[in-house]
Amino acid sequence: MNDTLLGLIWNTSRAVQNKAQNTVGLVSPELNAEQTLMLLKEEDGLRPIDIAERLMRSKSSVTSIIKTAQRHGLVATRPHPLKGNSKCVHLTKKGVMMCDSAGNNIHSLLAEVPQGLTQKEVDTCRKVLEVTLNCYR
């Protein structure tokens, strides 16, 4: 599978996800990397459907992630201020603390990637990945 561009992207993505999961596990074993990404402060106050779009996951997967995060006291839901039938997901104080700690670890992990590459190589990789991602959105 590594002999195609998409295969290489797929395998690289999985390797980064696995490393992120191990990194998050050091902070909180009950939390998974996907939940941590959902919990990042810039995601706070979104509807589940918005979170699903950002994570590129099904609404049912995101509902499961939210329920798990609620069980661990990391998020709470409130009615959407403008849409009565919808709810928004918000971080709890515990969620903010967890997010800060795990988020710092993930940001450190992601900052490691470009080491050993020139800025031109990083820019080329970024362009290839952006174009590829836009093809599948």
Q: What CA–CA distance (Å, rounded) separates 40 from 33?
A: 11
Q: Supply the pLDDT for residue 32.
A: 64
pLDDT of residue 10 exceeding 80, the answer is yes
**Which residues have CB under 8 Å from 48's CB, separation 6+?**
59, 62, 63, 66, 87, 89
In a 13 Å sphere around the CA of 84, the CA atoms on its Cβ side amount to 0
Q: What CA–CA distance (Å, rounded) separates 50 from 88?
A: 9
Q: Supply the pLDDT for residue 127.
A: 92
CB 109 within 8 A of CB 23: yes
Q: pLDDT (tens digit, 9 = 90+) per residue, 76-128?
A: 999 888 877 889 988 889 888 877 777 777 777 777 766 788 889 989 988 99
Q: What CA–CA distance (Å, rounded) separates 61 from 49?
A: 11
Average pLDDT over the chain, rounded to an integer: 80
**Reduced to 3 states, what is the DSSP secondary structure of residue 17?**
helix
pLDDT of residue 2 exceeding 70, the answer is no
In a 13 Å sphere around the CA of 79, the CA atoms on its Cβ side amount to 5
Residue 57: left (phi > 0), alpha (psi -120 to 50), or beta? beta
Band of pLDDT at residue 39, cut at 50, 70 and 90: low
CB 88 within 8 A of CB 46: yes
pLDDT of residue 37 exceeding 60, the answer is no
Q: Supply the pLDDT for residue 74.
A: 84
pLDDT of residue 11 exceeding 80, the answer is yes
